Amino acid sequence: MDGAPFPDVRVRPGIRLSLDLKQARATALYGQGVPAADTYGRFDPSFNSHLKRDQDIAQAKHLLKQAGKENLRLQLVTSPIAAGIVQASQVLAENAKAAGITINVRQVDPGSYVSQYGKWPFAIDFWVGLPYLVLASIADGPRASVVNTTHFNDPEFNSLFNQASKQLDLKQRTALIHKMQQIQYDRGGYIIWSFQNNVDAYSSKIGGIQPVDETAWGLGRAQLHKLYFK
């Protein structure tokens, strides 16, 4: 967000609005995902499920024209670090053409990607399900550093984070978090296009497995010490 052309608050949503989210899920995840709208924390009780994002080429063009970026050219660095992420990058590049955006998708191997993690101007990432404030604290909150790959530093967001982090009342904390998520939706640095489904496979001879938990980690966070043979 601190490198051209991304500091312009009109450019980021302009790119987001060019993506056909349904096509991305169908192509990259074979439909095995649920809609997302550029903010995280789906399983957090304070997650705002009312935020929606649909493709809007006309609005994307309008925002980019306002920003003087009608013929925007970008390089998107991608790598097969998670299911469907390379394919989703390709869908974005194809969709973006309609908005006048040319995206060159550069695929690198995971080792090369990790060696420059956080240094690519426009790249991909993958997160597992964590509580909203936990993920904000390491991804784009006021003290996030190493994994703040978008270089997000929003004073209003930071203030809300500090208030929410010490608010014990769920209702009041939720109101603060919803304001944080609205900021991410309006002017954040992520394109969060889907929450992918997880599929757990295990033998019927094994007991103690919790296939689904509220964070959606595979095999109940793989806590193998809780497993046993029936």
Calpha distance 197→33 (Å, rounded): 5
Residues contacting residue 145 through CB under 8 Å, at least 6 positions apart? none
Calpha distance 89→77 (Å, rounded): 9
Question: What are the φ and ψ backbone dihedral angles of 211, each rounded to 5 degrees?
Answer: -60, -35
% pLDDT > 90, the chain:
74
**pLDDT tens digits for 121-135?**
999 998 877 889 999
pLDDT class of 221 with cuts at 50, 70, 90? low
What pLDDT, on a 0 to 100 scale, did the predictor assign at position 118?
Answer: 86
Nearest CA to 189 out of 13, 50, 66 is that of 13
Question: What are the φ and ψ backbone dihedral angles of 55, each rounded to 5 degrees?
Answer: -65, 135
Nearest CA to 157 out of 138, 132, 177, 130 is that of 177
What pLDDT, on a 0 to 100 scale, did the predictor assign at position 130?
Answer: 83
pLDDT class of 43 with cuts at 50, 70, 90? confident
Structure tokens at 195: 């929450």
What pLDDT, on a 0 to 100 scale, did the predictor assign at position 25?
Answer: 94
What pLDDT, on a 0 to 100 scale, did the predictor assign at position 224?
Answer: 80
**pLDDT tens digits for 133-184?**
999 999 999 988 778 999 999 999 999 999 999 999 999 999 999 999 999 9
Which of 43-47, 68-72, 93-97, 209-213 comes out lowest in average pLDDT?
Answer: 209-213
For 146, counting Cβ atoms within 10 Å of its Cβ (0-12 exposed, 13-18 middle, 19+ buried), the class is exposed
Q: Check: CB of residue 130 under 8 Å from CB of residue 216.
A: no
What pLDDT, on a 0 to 100 scale, did the predictor assign at position 216?
Answer: 63
Calpha distance 160→158 (Å, rounded): 5
Residues contacting residue 79 through CB under 8 Å, at least 6 positions apart? 85, 86, 107, 108, 109, 110, 112, 113, 124
Does residue 26 surpass a pLDDT of 70? yes
Does residue 94 surpass a pLDDT of 80? yes
Residues 216-221 have a mean pLDDT of 65
Residues 217-223 have a mean pLDDT of 67
Q: Cis (ω within 30 of 0) for the bond into 121?
A: no
> What element of type H or E holds 156?
helix 155-165
Calpha distance 174→194 (Å, rounded): 22
